């Protein structure tokens, strides 16, 4: 029978270490929290090789008395928690009393500390948790801890470490979050000798945001402040025009603790409903404060999960506070403001305002289809010259004149540069002389068909094509009728997205890339940044040529030829987030990337497209090749003649 034995202390320490110390970022988090708990007003963190070989943290906090130094490294040694009852009101950040012991167990540690008011400091070296002797040392008040060769004695754990870049980015994320939750403390982060950021510690959240998340982001923010019941909400949200391609710039804190919460994300995004373009996400740095009894932060010590006693109270407080701020922004405060301007904008105006216009648009009407005024009655008369009033208004509706040409039409989309070849339905009866027919030799029948009064001709469309594109409404839905007396509404974006997705999925070659005139820089969240750096080759296969620009920024030099330069940054942001999320399942991640690429390269609702392009889409949809968009939404809606007759009470 096996003997029951107590584990030797260093084995127990190693097991405990596994729970507390997962990667360099967790070491950083514990040590920074200790520094904050020690009342430091300035903390400098330094890492090398993603923190795997070297982490050093210096604070100007209360310090540790020389005789207490070895005690601090004992398991369950803490100055912060005395009884189980204290768990209910955890004021300090760390409270388990095992961080230092756990970190020391899996690394080589040097600590230098001088307690406030003490004449001398002291130092201690620990190797795999085993302390040497305490030595008197001259050092400033405060504490410096240096952690070298993390996991040197636990090779199994070492195997789980990602590349230095990924670990370093995770460390940067931790420092960033602590800097944002403690604007009154100055945080400096150095990575491989280079300063990543340095917050002033002036107590202003915006200063911390500016320093830790970048200038562009900070300048795009609106302050918000409000409360609902006991729930207080404070911080900054992005203006609707500054939406991001991913949720990476949403940072939430609950009672000072960084959390990831679907509830908070949902409350934030609900407030932006109808104010942000689809596929764009608001960013924020939000502090939610509520009584300790209304939230359980102890769901898991190392995880960033919280449970609220009342989800609704928290949701409402965040939702209404954000909504109020957005509404206040829309109300004109002084003459010259544009109230509600973002509501009125079309997708094109949005693009024009927010992105550098690098692609030249083809002039409207330079294709075979003809723009006509959008009066409803015109939609059914697609071959009436009199109807072909040129209209360049935003409401222009393109109607394809199927009879105007009998050669394949090769047309390039003004928006995407893609070319389409459209062959008009062969059996379509020409309704006017063919362009290449010699003068005076137009077939008699056709000459006779030329209407004296244009209206009459369209009353009896002579047509045997299986379908006819009638036009487009709301710049989103193509109307089409088939020879079975059925009317179809086709969602052009959904249909094109599916087409792009299938094509991308079938494609085995790297995508065609186009160099950008000016490379675009993208500030990424640490996790996304790391994901991009890890996947530079994969991204290149997808047509994105990127380079590390340092400090969380990536430079995009080339984008796939069917992605607008203006969409380069948001597309990469979205790809990076999917890569960061999909680390565990590369195949699923690939499909996710294809979704993004398909969505970004597809024509969008609100865009003006040429008729030939739309007709090509209709062809794919009507042939049954496309049924659903890659997200599973239908691409077409059927209205039978009977449905319509019922609407008019004819049937
Ligand atoms: P905990 O933070 O849960 O108390 P730790 O193992 O992280 O446990 O730290 C043990 C003790 O060491 C702390 O309670 C604190 O008294 C002391 N300590 C750790 N880091 C610092 C620091 N940077 N400055 C002052 N005291 C510290
Ligand atoms: Mg601690």
Geometric angle at alpha carbon 177, from 32 and 245, rounded to 5°: 155
Task: Give the pLDDT score at 407.
Answer: 39
Q: Which atom of ligand 1 is nearest to the CA of 35?
A: 23
Task: Give the pLDDT score at 438.
Answer: 38
Q: How far is the CA of 141 from the centre of ligand 2 (A)?
A: 19
Q: Provide mean pLDDT across the span 531-551.
A: 90
Residues 83 and 187 in one domain: yes
Q: Which atom of ligand 1 is nearest to the CA of 79?
A: 14
Q: Is residue 380 part of a domain?
A: no
Q: How far is the CA of 178 from the centre of ligand 2 (A)?
A: 14
Q: How far is the CA of 92 from the centre of ligand 2 (A)?
A: 9
Q: Which atom of ligand 1 is nearest to the CA of 103?
A: 6
Residues 187 and 238 in one domain: no
Q: Provide mean pLDDT across the span 489-498.
A: 89
Beta bridge partners of 109: 126, 147
Q: How far apart are CA 207 and CA 217, in angstroms?
A: 12
Q: Provide mean pLDDT across the span 321-334.
A: 74
Beta bridge partners of 125: 110
Residues 174 and 36 in one domain: yes
Residues 35 and 179 in one domain: yes
Nearest CA to ligand 1 atom 4: 78
Nearest to 368, CA basis, from 397, 324, 401, 328: 401
The best mutation among 69, 75, 78 to test binding of ligand 1, ranked by most ligand atoms within 8 Å of the C-beta, falls on 78
585 is in which domain, residue-wise? 469-637
Task: Give the pLDDT score at 290.
Answer: 95
Q: Which atom of ligand 1 is nearest to the CA of 99?
A: 6
Tell me which of 352 and 516 has the higher pLDDT. 516
Residues 164 and 24 in one domain: yes
The H helix count followed by the E strand count for the chain is 21, 27
Question: Does residue 558 contact residue 516 with C-beta atoms inside 8 Å?
Answer: yes
Q: How far is the CA of 389 from the centre of ligand 1 (A)?
A: 78
CATH of the domain at 610: 3.30.1370.100
Q: What is the pLDDT of residues 383-417, one digit of tens each?
A: 222 223 223 333 222 223 333 333 333 333 333 33
Nearest to 26, CA basis, from 305, 306, 302, 254: 302
Task: Give the pLDDT score at 368.
Answer: 28
Q: Which atom of ligand 1 is nearest to the CA of 98?
A: 6
Q: Is residue 134 part of a domain?
A: yes
Q: How far is the CA of 25 from the centre of ligand 2 (A)?
A: 14
| Three-class secondary structure of residue 148 per DSSP | strand
Q: How far is the CA of 72 from the centre of ligand 1 (A)?
A: 6
Nearest CA to ligand 1 atom 18: 34
Residues 165 and 283 in one domain: no
Q: What is the pLDDT of residues 568-585, one digit of tens each?
A: 999 999 999 888 887 656
Q: pLDDT averaged over the chain?
A: 76
Q: Is residue 260 part of a domain?
A: yes
Most confident of 47-51, 428-432, 488-492: 47-51
Boundary (domain end) residue, out of 168, 198, 228: 198
How many CA within 13 A on the CB side of residue 180?
29
The best mutation among 13, 28, 34 to test binding of ligand 1, ranked by most ligand atoms within 8 Å of the C-beta, falls on 34
SS3 string of 282-306? CCEEEEEECCHHHEECCCCCCCCCC
Q: Is residue 18 part of a domain?
A: yes
Q: What is the pLDDT of residues 266-315, one digit of tens each?
A: 999 999 877 777 678 899 999 999 998 888 876 665 567 888 999 999 99
Q: Provide mean pLDDT across the span 454-460.
A: 36
Joined tokens for residue 351: 């693009």
Q: How far apart are CA 263 and CA 286, in angstroms?
A: 13
Boundary (domain end) residue, out of 330, 355, 376: 330
Tell me which of 211 and 405 has the higher pLDDT. 211
Helical spans, DSSP H, in 302-431: 311-330, 341-344, 347-354
Least confident of 111-125, 404-418, 468-482, 636-650: 404-418
- Ligand minimally distant from the alpha carbon of residue 63: 1
Residues 104 and 52 in one domain: yes
Tell me which of 294 and 354 has the higher pLDDT. 294
The set of protein residues with a Cβ atom below 6 angstroms from ligand 1 is 30, 34-35, 38, 59, 61-64, 72, 77-80, 94-101, 143
- Tell me what percent of the residues of the chain surpass a pLDDT of 70: 73
Task: Give the pLDDT score at 322.
Answer: 95
Say whether pLDDT at 546 is over 50: yes
Q: How far apart are CA 614 and CA 371, in angstroms?
A: 13
CATH of the domain at 250: 3.30.230.10
Task: Give the pLDDT score at 620.
Answer: 83
Residues 129 and 20 in one domain: yes
Say whether pLDDT at 587 is over 90: no
Edge-first strand order for the sheet with 477-482 is 467-473, 477-482, 486-491, 636-640
The best mutation among 17, 19, 72 to test binding of ligand 1, ranked by most ligand atoms within 8 Å of the C-beta, falls on 72
Joined tokens for residue 611: 């008729």
Question: Does residue 614 contact residue 478 with C-beta atoms inside 8 Å?
Answer: yes
Q: Provide mean pLDDT across the span 123-131.
A: 94
Q: Provide mean pLDDT across the span 116-132.
A: 94
Q: Is residue 214 part of a domain?
A: no
Residues 69 and 16 in one domain: yes
Boundary (domain end) residue, out of 330, 358, 376: 330
Nearest CA to ligand 1 atom 1: 97
Residues 189 and 264 in one domain: no
Q: How confident is the model at residue 193 (pLDDT cuts 50, 70, 90)?
A: very high
Q: Is residue 440 part of a domain?
A: no
The best mutation among 100, 103, 115, 139 to test binding of ligand 1, ranked by most ligand atoms within 8 Å of the C-beta, falls on 100
Q: How far apart are CA 592 and CA 598, in angstroms?
A: 10
Task: Give the pLDDT score at 419.
Answer: 37
Task: Give the pLDDT score at 432.
Answer: 35
Give the pairing type, strands 397-399 and 307-308. Answer: unpaired
Q: Is residue 151 part of a domain?
A: yes
Provide the domain count of the chain: 3
Task: Give the pLDDT score at 302.
Answer: 54
CB atoms closer than 10 angstroms to residue 84:
7
Nearest CA to ligand 1 atom 12: 72
Say whether pLDDT at 201 is over 80: yes
Least confident of 104-113, 385-394, 560-569, 633-642: 385-394
Nearest to 596, CA basis, from 500, 503, 519: 500
Residues 118 and 14 in one domain: yes
Q: Is residue 645 part of a domain?
A: no
Residues 120 and 188 in one domain: yes
Please name the residue that has the structure tokens 């289809």: 369
């Amino acid at each position: 029978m096996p003997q029951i034995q107590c584990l030797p202390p260093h084995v127990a320490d190693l097991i405990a270490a596994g729970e507390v110390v997962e990667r360099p970022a967790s070491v950083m988090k514990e040590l920074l929290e200790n520094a904050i708990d020690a009342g430091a007003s300035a903390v400098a963190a330094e890492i090398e090789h993603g923190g795997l070989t070297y982490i050093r943290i210096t604070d100007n906090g209360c310090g540790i008395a020389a005789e207490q130094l070895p005690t601090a490294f004992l398991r369950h040694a803490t100055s912060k928690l005395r009884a189980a009852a204290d768990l209910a009101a955890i004021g300090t950040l760390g409270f388990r009393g095992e961080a230092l012991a756990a970190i020391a167990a899996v690394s080589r540690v040097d600590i230098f500390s001088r307690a406030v008011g003490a004449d001398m400091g002291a130092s201690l070296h620990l190797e795999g948790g085993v302390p040497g002797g305490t030595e008197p040392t001259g050092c400033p008040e405060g504490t410096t801890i240096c952690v070298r060769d993390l996991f040197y004695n636990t090779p199994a754990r070492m195997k789980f470490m990602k590349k230095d870049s990924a670990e370093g980015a995770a460390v940067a994320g931790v420092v960033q979050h602590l800097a944002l939750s403690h604007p009154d403390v100055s945080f400096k982060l150095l990575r491989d000798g280079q300063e990543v950021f340095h917050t002033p510690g002036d107590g202003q959240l915006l200063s911390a945001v500016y320093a830790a998340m970048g200038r562009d982001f900070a300048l795009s923010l609106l302050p918000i402040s409000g409360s609902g019941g006991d729930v207080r909400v404070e911080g900054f949200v992005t203006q609707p025009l500054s939406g991001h391609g991913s949720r990476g710039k949403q940072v939430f804190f609950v009672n000072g603790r960084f959390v990831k919460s679907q509830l908070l994300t949902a409350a934030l995004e609900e407030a932006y409903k109808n104010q942000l373009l689809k596929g764009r996400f608001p960013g924020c740095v939000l502090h939610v404060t509520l009584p300790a009894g209304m939230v359980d932060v102890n769901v898991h010590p190392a995880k960033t999960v919280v449970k609220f006693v009342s989800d609704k109270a928290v949701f409402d407080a965040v939702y209404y506070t954000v909504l109020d701020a957005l509404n206040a922004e829309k109300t004109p405060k002084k003459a010259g403001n544009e109230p509600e301007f973002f509501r009125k904008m079309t997708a094109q105006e949005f693009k024009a305002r927010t992105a550098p216009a690098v692609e030249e648009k083809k002039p409207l009407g330079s294709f075979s289809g003809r723009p006509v005024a959008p009066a409803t009655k015109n939609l059914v008369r697609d071959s009436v010259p009199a109807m072909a009033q040129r209209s360049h208004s935003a409401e222009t509706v393109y109607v394809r004149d199927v009879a105007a040409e009998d050669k394949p039409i090769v047309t390039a989309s003004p928006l995407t540069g893609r070319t389409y070849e459209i062959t008009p339905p062969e059996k379509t009866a020409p309704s006017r002389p063919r362009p290449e027919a010699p003068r005076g030799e137009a077939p008699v029948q056709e000459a006779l068909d030329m209407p004296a009064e244009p209206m009459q001709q369209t009353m009896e469309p002579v047509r045997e094509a299986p379908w006819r594109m009638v036009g487009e409404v709301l710049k989103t839905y193509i109307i089409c009728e088939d020879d079975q007396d059925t009317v179809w509404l086709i969602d052009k974006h959904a249909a094109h997205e599916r087409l792009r997705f299938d094509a991308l999925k079938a494609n085995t070659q790297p995508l065609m890339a186009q160099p950008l005139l000016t490379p675009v820089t993208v500030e990424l969240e640490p996790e996304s940044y790391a994901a991009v750096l890890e996947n530079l080759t994969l991204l290149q296969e997808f047509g994105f040529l990127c380079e590390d620009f340092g400090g969380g920024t990536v430079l995009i030099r080339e984008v796939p030829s069917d992605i607008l330069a203006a969409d380069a940054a948001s597309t990469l942001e979205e790809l990076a987030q999917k890569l960061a999320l999909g680390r565990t399942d590369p195949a699923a991640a690939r499909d996710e990337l294809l979704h993004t690429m398909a969505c970004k390269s597809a024509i969008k609702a609100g865009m003006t497209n040429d008729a030939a392009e739309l007709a090509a889409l209709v062809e794919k949809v009507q042939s049954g090749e496309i049924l659903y968009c890659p997200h599973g939404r239908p691409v077409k809606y059927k209205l039978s003649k009977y449905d319509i007759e019922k609407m008019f009470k004819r049937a």
